Amino acid sequence: MDLRQLSALMAVADHGGFSAAADALHTVQSNVSSHVARLERDLGATLVDRQAGRLTAEGALVVARARRVRGELEGLVADLAALRDEIVGPSRLGMIGTTARWLVPRLLDHLGERYPGIRLIVLDATSTSLEPQLLAGGLDLAVINLPVPGRDLATEALFDEDLVLVTPVEHPFTRRGLITMGDLATIELLLPPPGTAFRGELDAAAAAAGVFLRPLAELDGLRLIASMAMEGHGPAIVPATAVSGYPESGRWAQVPVSGLPRRQVGVAQRRRGLPAAPSRAVLEVLREIARLPDVPGLHPPRAA
């Protein structure tokens, strides 16, 4: 097998078929088909189900490994350049949406000044979808909600963040200034689904107060939840930065809740393997930005 064959298979996986893969690779479909067929012969396995138009289980396994191979090769080139004091190359960074909206502009500014040779690729998604992509090698780093399950990812906390209730401005809670966890149990909320780290923290805080949070709907994505709450579709508990900076429309209000924990956000990377020089530089800048005190609702991370 060779790198062209692996690249062809990854393109088929990423773009959903041979024709789209050929367009992405700026070649013809017959070349992509030929590379994948030779790879299948070399490995003695069918990697693409031609009738269904998707990878087989064996194909998915090969693609996951191929992404790591590609990352290591890019890292090799980048690290050699770093020895010449040239930090150049790609860095694939995943980031939860509520954090991305304020962190990515700062990150681009800092990198542009100090490391103009880094090509930053940012994927905006939920923690639950970023973690497997990081493990599979599709991402180099991920800024996610902590803690993360399992032991395959190494994490470090960047900051803690206040949580607030967002509710329609005419709701009785907005006139009280401060409510309790017991008050939350009297209303239905837009909540993240069970199994997510954020929902786990909310349920743990509710259990500690002896109450149960009732879902109006369960939505995977805090930015989506914040948008729905600000548009009047239901009250929700969200991180402070999910709504800070948005213009006051007169339709919604923030209400502090006694007993809510702060959310902890951190950066994760694979325990195995060394991040390439561009990603090490991105990690360095992320740490510096997290120490800046100019974002309302953010605090230094609590001890682990």
Q: How confident is the model at residue 77 (pLDDT cuts 50, 70, 90)?
A: low
Overall pTM > 0.85: no
What the chain holds in terms of domains, given with CATH numbers, is 3-65 (1.10.10.10), 87-160+264-299 (3.40.190.10), 163-261 (3.40.190.10)
- Which residue in 138, 246, 149, 163 sits closest to 196, CA to CA? 149
Dihedral of CA 136/196/148/294: which sign?
Answer: positive
Q: Is the pLDDT of residue 183 over 70?
A: yes
Confidence of residue 83 (pLDDT cuts 50, 70, 90): low
On whether the CB atoms of residues 192 and 198 are closer than 8 A, the answer is: yes
161 contacts 298 by C-beta, under 8 angstroms: yes
- Alpha-carbon distance of 94 to 272, in angstroms, equals 18
Whether 273 has a pLDDT exceeding 80, the answer reads no
- Residues 9-51 have pLDDT tens digits of 888 888 888 888 888 888 888 888 888 888 888 888 888 888 7
- How far CA 175 is from CA of 131, 167, 187, 255, in Å, comes to 40, 11, 16, 9
Determine the straight-line distance between the first and last CA of the chain, rounded to whole angstroms: 45
44: left (phi over 0), alpha (psi -120 to 50) or beta: left
**Mind listing the pLDDT tens digit for each residue in 160-177?**
999 999 998 888 898 888
Mean pLDDT of the chain: 86
